[in-house]
Amino acid sequence: MMPASPLRRTVLRSFVLVAALAAGIHPALGAPADGPTADFFRAVQMDDARTVQSLLGKVDPNGVNPIGGEPALVLAVREGAMRVFDVLLRHPSIDVDAPAMNGNTALMMAAFKHNRPAAEALVAKGAAVNRSGWTPLHYAAASGDDDIARLLLAHGARIDAQSPPASGKYTPLMMAAREGHEDSALFLLGQGADPRLRNGEGLTAAQIAGRADHGAIAAALDQRVKSGP
């Protein structure tokens, strides 16, 4: 097998990090906090809504956890801590788009974690469906969640949004193709995704699927290109 190109390694690292966060593996970014901050983030992770509520006047609800680099709302979604999620979302000072240090927002994490209730609540609260670089739709496509992808598109998500140039200029369709989600790739095509676009290496979604040994997806995408719009 040929070694991964620099661009492919970059995008792989990005989604490996997301997968690690989803699995509860925290990259060490600093020493554990003491006092109310440590208690607050511990309570978020444990879905201890009562303790979180009691500490909201003592800590910044949008502050980043020194361990893991995530604000409380992102951490709550990753951990499936929905009682805490509800408490945080009701807080008047909550920033629904506060990013983790790796750029993840709560809506991006909800898309990756297949958490439709959280995604709906965040969109209703005004969370950004479109943003520069990686978007929630990229994450829905990468995880094969057509339901959340449909929600995002209904609220104006750019179907052909591109990841940053340093991360390979991947579209959501390319992510679905690369991750082997044939249904998601076909769904995005049906919603108007352009299979002719190329990433930073000059590859189409079909070629990306082929490189990842997803031959059926590559063939379906090629057929769509041949058949025209």
Rounded to two decimals, the pTM is 0.86
Question: What confidence tens digit (pLDDT) does each residue in 27-80 have?
Answer: 444 445 568 999 999 999 999 999 999 999 999 999 999 999 999 999 999 999
Question: Residue 56, by phi and psi: left (phi above 0), alpha (psi -120 to 50) or beta?
Answer: alpha
Can you give the pLDDT at residue 227? 78
- 88 has a pLDDT exceeding 70: yes
pLDDT for 48 equals: 98
Other CB atoms closer than 10 Å to residue 126's CB: what's the count?
Answer: 9
Q: Tell me the pLDDT tens digit for each residue of 6-15.
A: 444 444 444 5
> 168, 209 in Cβ contact below 8 A?
no
Model pLDDT, residue 225: 80
d(CA 155, CA 165): 25
User: Helix, strand, or coil here: 73?
Assistant: helix
Rounded to whole angstroms, what are the CA distances from 32 to 42, 198, 202?
A: 11, 43, 43
Is the pLDDT reported for residue 20 higher than 70? no
In CATH, the number for domain 6-227 is 1.25.40.20
pLDDT, average across residues 165-186: 96
- Whole-number pLDDT of residue 125: 97
- Position 134 scores a pLDDT of 97
CA-closest candidate to residue 44, choices 76, 67, 86: 76
- Give phi and psi for 71, each to the nearest 5: -70, 165
